[in-house]
Amino acid sequence: MVNVHKRRRFMAVVALTAASGIALSACSSGSDADPSASGSSGGGEAASGEDVTLDFAFWGNDVRADMYTQSIDLFMEEYPNITVNSTFLDYPAFWEKRQTEAAGGGLPDVMQFDYSYLRQYSENGLLLDLAPYLGNEIATDGLSEQILGIGVVGDQTTGIATSTNAWGMYTNPQLLESAGVEEFGGGSWDDYKSWVAEVTEASGGEVFGGTDYTGRIQNFEVQLRAEGKNLFNEDGTPGFDEARLAEFWESGADMRGEDGSGISQQKLEEIYPVSGFGSALTASELTWDNFGAGYLGELGESYTELGLVAPPVTVEGAKDLYLKPSMLHSVSASTEHPAEAAMLVDFLVNSPEVGAIFGTNRGLPASTTMQEGMTFEGLDAQIRDYEESVADRLGDAPPVPLVGYGTLEEKFRVLGTELGFGTVTVEDAVSQFFSEMDVVLNS
């Protein structure tokens, strides 16, 4: 068991110059400011020491909810004057609710945040600038400048990365053994489709080799990066045209439908919110490498291990993968308790005890302080080793997601679902996506 290190109770010495928590302060957050500076020249609103209540929201499943419950209990034990009320939803519902709350000015005090939405919420003034709290309420000794820079939009630090992850492919060794099929040995996307069909056929349709990969925008991004393009460029323009998107979606046609080699969309709807992979109905899933713990939790005690291999190759030798902040923690600009909210962010990002609880559920911890609480074994060691194994495919991270990226990502997912049901053609799906993209990019 990890020894409990009592953390210092931070007290900032200067209050915010703005009376309203909604207005973002720019002090100590200039583009050439040291992100690890104490912020004493500008400072943040001091912790009151009085009894306060914070609302904390995250997306995930019951496995992650239990981890957060344990972590928050430790936080409240250490700070008995702070009560934290937490809520969670699945990913799409989480952002639907945040958008509703944002329109009404009622975002939770602290939120698990996705990189895809960081620019949008930051530029709309909805997130608190955390720069005045760095080095005070939020310890920075375990966070590199690169990690701190992930959460900077413009000249404000509006998120602290909890961890990083990479795109990969989970497999189920027990299902593959029962089907008599070897692990995917690498190769092209066509090779992967052939392997999926082999698994499905070998199991007699009781287990499917995988899910139509063209329903995930990340797989499209991996292919574009291999071709030397971005999904979206720094200026917000797309790195693809209608023909390239149509080619991508058409490539998944033989995996879709009741007669496809992949699991059908109808079957996925029947088992929702659990995925095909989490239900032991598919033998592979292309996703971020931090999803492993959640899958094991869904699969239950009958399944004790997962495979984790690199995704298919589009162009040999290409730098098609990258390390992404799996998530960040952000604070609402309208919080009435900014210092206490920053203290909660610090605990969830830096605490060794939280590291021991989560392992790599949120990705490899970004904070070396948090890593001190971890014993890298089992799945945790597997994820660390996987990221080392794909080092030759890791390139520079893409530009910070444009405003509205989350909307486009969700539209892509919805269209992928409709393609799976056969309620829309590839031509219509491309037309709808480009129409949505035109609205988002020109709004």
Name the nearest CA neighbour of 122 among 29, 202, 34.
29
Ramachandran sector of residue 359 (left: φ over 0; alpha: ψ -120 to 50; beta: rest): left
Residue with tokens 């998530």: 327
- The CA distances from residue 48 to 83, 106, 157, in Å, are 14, 22, 23
Long-range contacts of 275-278 (CB under 8 A, 24+ apart): 275/211, 276/208, 276/211, 277/170, 277/172, 277/211
Residue bearing the bigger pLDDT, 390 or 6: 390
If asked whether residues 333 and 400 sit together in one domain, one would say: no
Domain containing residue 354: CATH number:
3.40.190.10
Phi, then psi, of 131 in degrees rounded to 5:
-55, -40
Q: Which domain holds residue 179?
A: 167-322+391-441
Q: Give all strands of the β-sheet with 167-171 in edge-to-edge order.
A: 284-288, 167-171, 307-309
Answer with the one of 338, 368, 384 that is the final residue of a domain: 384
**Contacts (Cβ under 8 Å, ≥6 apart) of 269:** none
Render pLDDT for 92-128 as a digit per residue (tens, 0 to 9): 999 999 999 999 879 999 999 999 899 989 999 999 9
If asked whether residues 198 and 235 sit together in one domain, one would say: yes
If asked whether residues 302 and 436 sit together in one domain, one would say: yes
Name the nearest CA neighbour of 134 among 34, 26, 17, 23.
34
If asked whether residues 154 and 198 sit together in one domain, one would say: no
Ramachandran sector of residue 430 (left: φ over 0; alpha: ψ -120 to 50; beta: rest): alpha
Supply the mean pLDDT for the chain: 88
Within-domain flag for 116 = yes
Mean pLDDT of 149-160: 91
101: number of CA atoms within 13 Å, CB side?
A: 20
Could you give the angle at the alpha carbon of 284 between the alpha carbons of 281 and 287, nearest 5°? 120
If asked whether residues 255 and 403 sit together in one domain, one would say: yes
- Say how far apart CA 306 and CA 313 lie, in whole Å: 21
Query: pLDDT tier at 46 (50, 70, 90 boundaries)?
Result: low
Within-domain flag for 69 = yes
- Say how far apart CA 142 and CA 36 lie, in whole Å: 10
- Say how far apart CA 277 and CA 170 lie, in whole Å: 9
If asked whether residues 250 and 372 sit together in one domain, one would say: no
pLDDT at 23 over 50: no
If asked whether residues 202 and 244 sit together in one domain, one would say: yes
If asked whether residues 108 and 231 sit together in one domain, one would say: no
If asked whether residues 283 and 368 sit together in one domain, one would say: no
If asked whether residues 261 and 396 sit together in one domain, one would say: yes
- Say how far apart CA 177 and CA 181 lie, in whole Å: 6
Within-domain flag for 90 = yes
pTM of the model: 0.72
CA 121 from chain centre, in angstroms, equals: 16
> Could you check whether the bond before residue 365 is cis, i.e. omega within 30 degrees of 0?
no
Query: pLDDT tier at 326 (50, 70, 90 boundaries)?
Result: confident
Ramachandran sector of residue 157 (left: φ over 0; alpha: ψ -120 to 50; beta: rest): beta
- For 304-362, give the DSSP string: ---EEEPPPBSSTT---B--EEEEEEEEBTT-S-HHHHHHHHHHHHH-HHHHHHHTTBT
High-pLDDT (> 90) share of the chain, %:
74
Overall domain count for the chain:
2
Mean pLDDT of 276-302: 95
- Say how far apart CA 353 and CA 71 lie, in whole Å: 8
If asked whether residues 180 and 280 sit together in one domain, one would say: yes
